[in-house]
Structure 1
C-alpha cells in the first residue's frame, strides 16, 4: 500500500482568472542537425505584478551525456528570461518542477507561475471538454525572477536516449542527480552562476527539492541555493501513510479531515463561532494531545475513555461515533473520502477535498477515483499543448506524458530500509539550512489537501534542526493545487513574490 500511495502522489493543478496583455513574435526553430537537441525560441511581453515585462522564451531539449560524451537522456524545459538585465547578480532564476513522481511541469507552468495560464472556474467543478480558456497571467512571477520549468526524464517529452536505462533516472537520488546536471548545464549555458537561485516544487516536487539540495550543495562543487518554495509539501512520507501499525499517519491526516468536514458543513460550526482557524487550532491540539495517546494505548484504553475520544473525534471530522468505534478510531484516507458524504452518493476529493464526485453505488468502501483529479486534467493537457504549438512554435509530434509515464520508482533515499521504510528527506533540508546561512524555506499549504496534508507538513518542519527564523508557512482555502481557487492563486503568487523580494 505504501508504494501505491507514493506512486499516486501527484503534482499540483488548477486555475483562476486575471487580465493582462501579452504580445508574441513568431517562433524560430534552431537550425541544427537531426540528432541535435530540438530548441524553439520566441519573444513575448506580459503585464505581471504591475509591470510590463518583455522576455525571451527558450523551449527545448538538453542532452545529458555519459563519461564518454555520448547522449544518454534528453530533458525538455521551458525558460523565461526577462530583457534588460545584464548583471546576473540583479536577476534571480527559479528552477520549477512538479511531482508525481512522473508528472510534467505543466501544472505550475500553466496554473500559477507562467506568463500564460489555463482559466477554469474558481469553485470546484469538472473541467468538461474543449475549448478551454488560455489567458495572459498577471499573477506570473516573471516580474521578479527568470523561470526554468523542468520536465524530468519520463515526463513531458523528456526521455532516455539509445540504450540508456530508466533505472538511472527513476529514483529519489537518481532523479535528483539528473536534474542537478541539467541545472549545472543551464547555468553554464546562460552564464548565471552568480544569480540568486531558487527551487520551486509541488507535491513530490518538494521531495525532489530536498534531494536536490543534497545533490547541489554536497561536496566542493557547491551550487548554493537562496531559497526553496515547497508547494503541498511531502518530506516525511510516514506522516500521512495509514498503513497497519503506523498510527502517526492518522495524526497527520486528522486536522485535514476536520477542515474537509468544516467545508462540507458536517460539523457544528456554531461551537467555534464560525471561525475555521479557531476550529483547526483545536483540531491540531486534539490530534497531538488526545488522539495520538489514545491510538498508542490501543486495547489498554478503558472503554469510557475510548467512547469520549470517539465522540470528540466525531465532532471534528463529521463521521458517526459508531463508525469510528467500529474502525478502532482509525479511518484511512480512502474510507474518509467515501464515508463523509456517503448518504448523498458522493465521494470527496483527495487532492482537493472541496470536490465531490457521484459514485456508482452506495456501498463501496473506497471511491471510484479522485474527483479532484478528473476535474482538471483535460484542461491542463490541452492548454499546455495548445500553448506549446501555437504560441511557442514547438512542433514535436511525439506523445506528451502529462502524468503516469514513470514506473518502478526507486524509493531508497539512502536510509537502508528499502520498501519497508518511509522516505524521509527532511534531514537533507535541515542540513542545508545549517550549512547555508542564506537558505530560506517557504512552505505553502492548502487546507483541503488530503494528499499532502498541512498538519503532516507542520509536524515535519517542527522537528529540531530547522531554523524557524528562515522558515515561512502559508495557508490557503483550497487544496493540493491551491491556485485553482482565484483568491488562493492571488495570495500564493503574492507570497512567492514577497519571498523572492525579501532576498
Structure 2
C-alpha cells in the first residue's frame, strides 16, 4: 500500500474553548411591606464554579444561576454593615427542581397570583407584589443546582457529575462559599431555606459548610421535610410509611367529606385519633405480619376504613397496607376523580376510573404553568437577564440520581443535622408541615425529629409548625400569612 501522510494533530477541543465567564445583571426596585417602602437591588446571573485541579489550577466546572435580593441602605448612609443584615440561601428539591417555587411563592418580592385557596386562575398568568416577602427580615439568594433553571456544566464538562447526593451538596455548598466571599457576607447571620428534597440538601449542607468551610449557620428553615427516606419509601418489608402517612390520609378524607360524622365535625379530633392509632394498635398489628390473628386483622381493617374513608374490602385486599399511589386513586374513585400528591385538597380527572394510580398529579398541574410562565417573563423583563436556554423548572435530565454513598441503605441526613446541631449550639431549625401533603407527610417529619436523639439541651432549638394546606402550603393565602408570621418570629429569635 502507498505511504499515507500522517493526519495533522487534532487540536484539543476542550483547550480551544474560550474560558467561561460570569454573566451578571443588576436592577433596582421598591416594595412596600407593612406600610414601609423598601428599596432593594436584584442581582441575577450565572457565576462560574471552579474546582481545584493539581495540573490545571482552578478548573471551571459549572455555571450556577442565582437571583439575589439585597436591601439597599437608607439614602445618604453609605454602605451597610454586613453584620446588620441576615442572609438566607434558598433552593427547592426534586431532585431536579429549580428554586422557582420558594422564590415566586413564598420568599421573593414578587409572587404568582392564584386564587385565595391556591386554585389556578386562567392564563395568561401574572405576578403581584408579595406582601409576605421575607426581604424585610433578611437578604435572599435563590440557587438553581446544575441542570435546573439556567444552571449547566460548562462546555467540555458533563452535567452528570453533579447529579448525585454528595456532589449536589458539594456544588451548592461551594457556590454559597463563593457568593459570601465575592459579596463580602462572611460577617452576616446566615440561614438556609430548603423545600422537599431541598430539606435533604439543607441538612447535608449544614454538615458540609460547617466542616469543610467553617461556615456555621444561625438557622435552617425546612419546608415539607424529607431527611430520613425510610419514612417515605413504600418498599416490601418497610412498614413505617404505612403508619406515618395515615394521618394525612385522614386529613384528606376529612377535606373531601369521606369520614364518619363525628370525625368530620372536627379535624383536630380526627387527626389525634389517627395518630394514636397509627403509632399504637396499627403499628403493633403490622409488626406481627402474617401472624396477626384473623379477628385482629378484621378489627384493624375496620379502623383503617374509619380513618381513611376507604372501603373495608379494599383495605383487606391490600393486606392492611395502602400506599400513597393507590390512595390518591381510590379515595374518590366513585366520583371518577383523583386527589393530589403535593396537595390532596385538589382533584384531577383521569381517562378512566379503573387504574391503580393517577395519570398525573392534579396539585402539580395547577402550579406548573403559572410558575413557569411568569418566571420566564419576569427574569427577562424585570430582572434583565437574557438567555436562550430553556429555564428548567423541574428537569428529568438529572435522573437517575446517584445515591452511591448510600447503597443498601436509606438516605438519612437527619444524622448530619444532629451532629451539626451538637457542634453548633446556636443552630436553630424551623420546620413547616402541611396537613394535606402526601409527598412528605407531617407525621413522618415528626417521627424523624423524634428519632434524631438530640441532646435535651438542643431540642429546644427546633420549632415545628403545621398549616391547613399541602406541600407548598404558601399557595394557600391564609397559610402563607401564618407562615410569614412564623418565619419573622424565627429570624427575630422568638
TM (norm. structure 1) is: 0.90
Note if contact 2:263-2:269 (Cα within 8 Å) is conserved in structure 1: no
Range with greater deviation from structure 2 (83-92 or 295-304): 83-92
Specify the SS of the correspondent of 1:308. Answer: helix
Instruction: Note the C-alpha offset of 1:51.
Output: 2.8
Asked if 1 retains the 8 angstrom alpha-carbon contact of 2:415 and 2:452, the reply is no
Q: 1 CA distance for matches of 2:60 and 2:361?
A: 39
Secondary structure of the residue aligned to 1:70 is: strand
Answer yes or no: is 1:236 the counterpart of 2:225: no
Question: SS of 2:460's equivalent?
Answer: helix
Cα distance in structure 2, aligned partners of 1:269 and 1:52: 49
Instruction: Report whether the alignment pairs 1:259 with 2:251.
Output: yes
Q: Offset at 1:34? A: 9.0
Q: Is the 8 A contact 2:190 2:217 kept in 1?
A: yes
The residue aligned with 2:76 is none
Within 5 Å, which residues of 2 pair with 1:15-94? 35-67=20-52, 68-84=57-73, 86-94=80-88
Check the 8 A contact 1:431/1:465 in 2, yes or no: no
Deviates more, 1:464-473 or 1:119-128: 119-128
1:275 CA drift (Å):
2.1
| Aligned positions of 1:54-453 closer than 5 A | 54-67=39-52, 68-84=57-73, 86-123=80-117, 125-128=119-122, 130-219=123-212, 221-271=213-263, 274-404=265-395, 405-412=397-404, 414-415=405-406, 418=407, 420-453=408-441
Secondary structure at the counterpart of residue 218 of structure 1: helix
* Structure 2: distance between partners of 1:153 and 1:260: 35
CA distance in 2, matches of 1:434, 1:269: 47
- Alpha-carbon separation, structure 1, partners of 2:263 and 2:465: 25
**471 and 269 in structure 1: CA distance in 2 versus 1, 3 angstrom threshold:** farther
Alpha-carbon deviation of 1:76?
0.4
Q: Determine the C-alpha separation between the residues in 2 that align with 1:498 and 1:381.
A: 31
CA contact (8 A) 1:49 1:140 kept: no
CA offset digits 1:176-216 (Å, max 9, x no partner): 10111111111111111011000000000000001111110
Greater RCO structure (CA 8 Å; 6+ sep): 1
Q: Deviations over 1:10-62 (max 9, x none)?
A: xxxxxxxxxxxxxxxxxxxxxxx994211110011101244321111100111
| Unmatched 5+ stretches in structure 1 | 1-32
Q: Normalization by structure 2: what TM-score?
A: 0.91
Would you identify which runs of 4 or more consecutive aligned residues in structure 1 move more than 6 Å? none
Secondary structure at the aligned position of 1:359 is classed as coil
Q: Using a 3 Å threshold, how does the CA distance of structure 1 residues 49 and 103 change in structure 2: closer, same or farther?
A: farther
State the Cα deviation string for residues 109-144 of structure 1 (Å, max 9, x = none): 11111001111113353455x311211111101001
Q: Which has the larger radius of gyration?
A: 2
For 1:335-354, what per-residue CA distance to the aligned partner results, in whole angstroms no more than 9, with x for missing partners? 00000000000010000000
Deviates more, 1:199-208 or 1:131-140: 131-140
For 2:410 and 2:26, locate their aligned partners in 1 and report how far apart those are by CA, in whole Å: 42
Task: Note closer, same or farther for the CA distance 1:269–1:434 as it changes in structure 2 (3 Å cut).
Answer: farther
Counterpart residue number, 1:13: none
Alignment RMSD (CA, Å): 1.5
